[in-house]
Structure 1
């Protein structure tokens, strides 16, 4: 008798996080101290506090130091400047939302690029959208990417949605992906990253649908965005190999009857955007990504510390050369 149970594989974030943590631990062994991450909590949002607590727990359990500083939001700007100037602080994370408007975007730019573990500084955001993957011309120092979008990328790599036979940077060629959410913090950056890696991305928001793509045959160097008047989620889901949803409202649910049979479904909202019946149609379902996001945050911190150590080593090598040049001219 045939087995009527769904063949969907449910993949938990904890299992994916473990593989990333091994990479982080290897990098930490080459550093002779615990990198210090300072978190700033100026929000009454319960989700922000939970995220802060998870961050501290994961950091402390994995060889990092963590301090949570609860600051009145009107004093946060000065507190960030102080942390920028404190040599003991290696990384800074701010738990948003705070003001819930453009002032939050301003605060993101206060954090020094040398301590911005969230990848929200202008240079990092510019690099991400322009598909510039390194900070230096020698391509040795990788740029830092926003944590939640990067966590989704790492999940897709773990699930082997990325085709490793193809060249790095083109490994989503042939994949059609729908991202439901176009926030400036997660949805839009995620659509850009996926398209920069070669995917054809439908970016679905409450008002419209946009397509992010590097063109036919991925001939463009970076993604372009095309408005698609008249297109709706009903047109996108049946074509999509992967559906990624992050709608914050508890009432929104992805219309499962529109899913392509065997689609990969990932939820990055704090709410469940997929009902349990998703397992009847999806081949793989990732119900939450929070633990991966925190490990990616620590990975970003490690990268910042490594960049700092390499910069100091390069400066010390240049100094004797400069001294010799001075001696030769005297």
Structure 2
């Protein structure tokens, strides 16, 4: 009798996005207006256009307003500043890459922190790396996390890779993860977030491997990074429970023979980083995450609007209190 091969479950982003959308719809009921997101497209990158079209479609289907503004890249800075000061605009997304240089990083920093749905402002990035989860001392206003790394985390939660019996912040304790990509927008933030939640993460770049952990035990609040001289995928993949890849090129494929039996494999590149034979080794395979990323974007927009409404309500309450004090004096 032939031995039956273990069955790999292919999980589609659409199914994961549905459960997150329910949370978004509940939040929308408490907002007095339709939140408006403005997207800036200033490059000829086809992947950016597809992402912009998906964003618009998802916004319109779920009670948000989306406006795509196509501008010349030399005029983008002024266009962002105009949107920052426009009270009708609740959130801003810029479709990168534009210049493909430090100028892109500069543009990320001029988007108002109160409208930055991508979580790329310095304050949000600082909080993420320092594992600071709130913007205020009262822990009521949650910090915004970058969309694609957060989408991967939401997928891992959906797949129950996070152990919900453990306290929040330690739920990946004992997990070993390889992230193939160390870009500043996705790969490095993702490695940091996973390590901050307790995982041992091997961050693989074209040149080297780094290990992100929270140090020994469960005590440290934020991650630390050490170089792994001489290490390659041959060292990381056989010991990893989870393999997450996002190499932006059609020629790169994760070597299937190095994967651990039963590994969970997630692809976040617009190209397929895993060959079809990944199903012979993996227990779960997520071939794309785009639809989850867009729902996370809407979730971030909703959070930004909620934070602003709360701040306005607090300011109003503070003014009423001051007026009352003046009247009694």
Q: Same fold (TM over 0.5)?
A: yes
Whether contact under 8 Å (1:6, 1:279) holds in the other structure is: no
Tell me, in whole angstroms, the C-alpha distance in 1 between the residues paired with 2:60 and 2:152: 23
1:267 matched residue in structure 2: 267
2:214 matched residue in structure 1: 214
Matches within 5 A, 1:132-281: 132-281=132-281
1:298 matched residue in structure 2: 298
Cα deviation digits, residues 124-153 of structure 1 (max 9, x gap): 000000000000001111100000000000
Q: In structure 1, list runs of 5 or more residues that go unmatched.
A: none
Give the drift of 1:31: 1.1
Tell me, in whole angstroms, the C-alpha distance in 1 between the residues paired with 2:266 and 2:301: 25
Tell me, in whole angstroms, the C-alpha distance in 2 between the residues paired with 1:287 and 1:236: 21
Q: How many residues align?
A: 329
Q: TM-score, structure 1 length as denominator?
A: 0.98
Give the drift of 1:6: 4.5
Cα deviation digits, residues 67-126 of structure 1 (max 9, x gap): 000011001000100000000000000000000000000000010000000000000000
1:87 matched residue in structure 2: 87
2:8 matched residue in structure 1: 8
**Residue 217 of structure 1: SS of its match in structure 2?**
coil
Whether contact under 8 Å (1:20, 1:295) holds in the other structure is: yes
**Residue 177 of structure 1: SS of its match in structure 2?**
strand
**Residue 226 of structure 1: SS of its match in structure 2?**
strand
Q: TM-score, structure 2 length as denominator?
A: 0.99
Tell me, in whole angstroms, the C-alpha distance in 2 between the residues paired with 1:240 and 1:35: 41
1:23 matched residue in structure 2: 23
Tell me, in whole angstroms, the C-alpha distance in 2 between the residues paired with 1:287 and 1:218: 32
**Residue 237 of structure 2: SS of its match in structure 1?**
helix
Tell me, in whole angstroms, the C-alpha distance in 1 between the residues paired with 2:221 and 2:31: 36
Tell me, in whole angstroms, the C-alpha distance in 2 between the residues paired with 1:326 and 1:94: 46
1:315 matched residue in structure 2: 315
1:107 matched residue in structure 2: 107
Tell me, in whole angstroms, the C-alpha distance in 1 between the residues paired with 2:278 and 2:248: 18
Tell me, in whole angstroms, the C-alpha distance in 2 between the residues paired with 1:104 and 1:190: 20
Dislocated runs of 4+, deviation >2 Å: 1-6, 324-329
Task: Indicate the larger mover: 53-62 or 226-235.
Answer: 226-235
Cα deviation digits, residues 209-250 of structure 1 (max 9, x gap): 000000121321100000111111100000000000000011
1:59 matched residue in structure 2: 59
Cα deviation digits, residues 262-307 of structure 1 (max 9, x gap): 0000000000000000000000000000000000000000000000
Give the drift of 1:3: 6.6
Whether contact under 8 Å (1:38, 1:93) holds in the other structure is: yes
Tell me, in whole angstroms, the C-alpha distance in 2 between the residues paired with 1:5 and 1:65: 48
Tell me, in whole angstroms, the C-alpha distance in 2 between the residues paired with 1:76 and 1:277: 43
Give the drift of 1:66: 0.3
Tell me, in whole angstroms, the C-alpha distance in 2 between the residues paired with 1:3 and 1:300: 47
1:50 matched residue in structure 2: 50
Task: Indicate the larger mover: 209-218 or 320-329.
Answer: 320-329
Tell me, in whole angstroms, the C-alpha distance in 2 between the residues paired with 1:49 and 1:252: 23
Whether contact under 8 Å (1:37, 1:90) holds in the other structure is: yes
